[in-house]
Structure 1
Amino acid sequence: MSATRLLVLGIVRGYGRAHGYRIGTDLQSWDAENWANAKWGSIYHALRALTDAGMLLDHHDVAGRTDYEITEKGETEYLRLLREAVRRPHTRPDQLGAALAMLPSLTRDEAVRLLRERLAALEEIRDKARAQLDGWADAPHWSELYGLWEHTASGGVAWTTGLIARLETGAYAMAGEPGSPGRPGSWPALAE
């Protein structure tokens, strides 16, 4: 899964309609080039690929500018990508970063449910790494790899547990709640 694809769909969805430069400058302002590898070339590539796949509609109402709008197929794909990124731990942080940027697209209950799935997966990774670390005898330097996996998963467990607690106590406006930026077309204050 591409974090850039998730972010592009999410931004277009958030604005209701957006042009490539707006999407790129938003991602630049979020420093997404560093945490999601969302560079200008990958953004425009994603826009073309998503349009070709029928997930975005392109509009040419302004000379020299293409605006994009998410389709029903794009909405389905966006929510699928978002749910997978929240639910499944990945070794690269870009998927989770993209999911966190778009988290208010989910209801509070769904976000907590998906995060609980993530928590269970992280606990399993942590416990498996601990067992491998405890039982490893060959090539002693490999114990550092299992130690890294255990440490990383343990940090993920602590962070995920904290986010679940924050969401359960009402932190952040989520989909369907007053002030939520998670509804399609709900970002007009940010629009040009």
Structure 2
Amino acid sequence: MSATRLLVLGIVRGYGRAHGYRIGTDLQSWDAAEWANAKWGSIYHALRALTDAGMLRDHDDVPGRTEYELTEKGEAEYLRLLREAVRRPQARPDQLGAALAMLPSLPRAEAVRLLRERLAALEEIRDKARAQLDGWVDAPHWSELYGLWEHTAAGGVEWTSGLIARLESGAYAMAGEPGSPGRPGSWYSLAGE
């Protein structure tokens, strides 16, 4: 899964209609080139690929500027990518970063449920790494690898537990709640245009 794909779909969804430069400048302002490798070339590549796949519809109403709009197929793909990124721990943090940027698209109860799935997977990874670390005798330096996995998963467990607690206590406006930026086309106040 591409974090850029999730981010592009999410930004287009957020604005209702957005042009490539708007998407790119938003991602630049979020430093997404650093944490998600969302650079100009990958953004425009994603726009073309998503349009070709029928997930975005392009509009050439303004000469020299193409605007994009999510299709029904694009909405389904966006939500699929978002849910997968929230629920499944990945070795690279870009998927989770993209999901966090778009988290208000989910209703609170669904976000908590998906995060609980993530928490269970992280606990399993942590416990498996601990068992491997405790039983490792060959090539002693490999114990550092299992130690890294254990500590990384343990940090993920702690952070995920904290996010679940924050969401359960009402932090952040989520989909269906007043003031949520998670509704399609709700980003007009963020557009700055």
* Counterparts of 2:190 and 2:84, CA distance in 1: 27
Distance 2:99 2:174 in 1: 13
How big is each residue's C-alpha offset from its partner over 1:3-46, in whole Å with a ceiling of 9 and x where there is no partner?
00000000000000000000000000000000000000000000
CA distance in 1, matches of 2:190, 2:151: 39
Structure 2 segments unaligned to the other structure (5+ residues): none
Aligned to 2:140, what secondary structure does the other structure show?
coil
Q: 2-side partners of 1:61 and 1:38: how far apart?
A: 26
SS of the equivalent of 1:57 reads: strand
The separation in 2 between residues aligned to 1:189 and 1:151, in whole angstroms, is 40
> Take 1:139 and 1:120, find their aligned partners in 2: how far apart are those partners?
30
Superposition TM-score, scaled by structure 2 size: 0.99
1:69, CA displacement in angstroms? 0.1
- Report Cα offsets for 1:55-74 as digits up to 9, x if no partner: 00000000000000000000
Deviations 1:79-107 (A, max 9, x none): 00000000000000000000000000000
SS in 1 for 2:58: strand
Q: Would you identify which runs of 4 or more consecutive aligned residues in structure 1 move more than 2 Å? A: none
The size of the alignment, in residue pairs, is 192
Gaps of 5+ in 1: none
Superposed counterparts of 1:159-170, under 5 Å: 159-170=159-170
Q: Secondary structure at the match of 2:67?
A: strand
What CA distance in whole angstroms lies between the structure 1 residues aligned with 2:190 and 2:157?
A: 34
Quote how far apart the aligned CAs of 1:159 are. Answer: 0.1
Deviations 1:115-172 (A, max 9, x none): 0000000000000000000000000000000000000000000000000000000000
Q: How far did 1:189 drift?
A: 1.1
Q: Which residue of 1 aligns with 2:96?
A: 96
State the alpha-carbon separation in 1 of the partners of residues 125 and 18 from structure 2: 39
CA distance in 1 between counterparts of 2:157 and 2:169 reads 18
Residue number in structure 1 paired with 2:81 = 81
Distance 1:184 1:9 in 2: 11
Q: Which residue of 2 aligns with 1:179?
A: 179
Q: Distance in 2 between matches of 1:146 and 1:100?
A: 27
Where 2:146 maps in the other structure, the secondary structure is helix
Q: Secondary structure at the match of 1:141?
A: helix
- Looking at structure 2, the residues matched to 171 and 99 of structure 1 have their Cα atoms a distance apart, in angstroms, of 16
1:12 aligns with 2:38: no
How many Å separate the matches in 2 of 1:141 and 1:41? 40
State the shift of 1:187 in Å: 0.4
Give the Cα separation in 1 of the matches to 2:145 and 2:190.
44
SS of the residue corresponding to residue 21 of structure 1 reads helix
CA deviation after TM superposition for structure 1 residue 190, in Å: 2.0
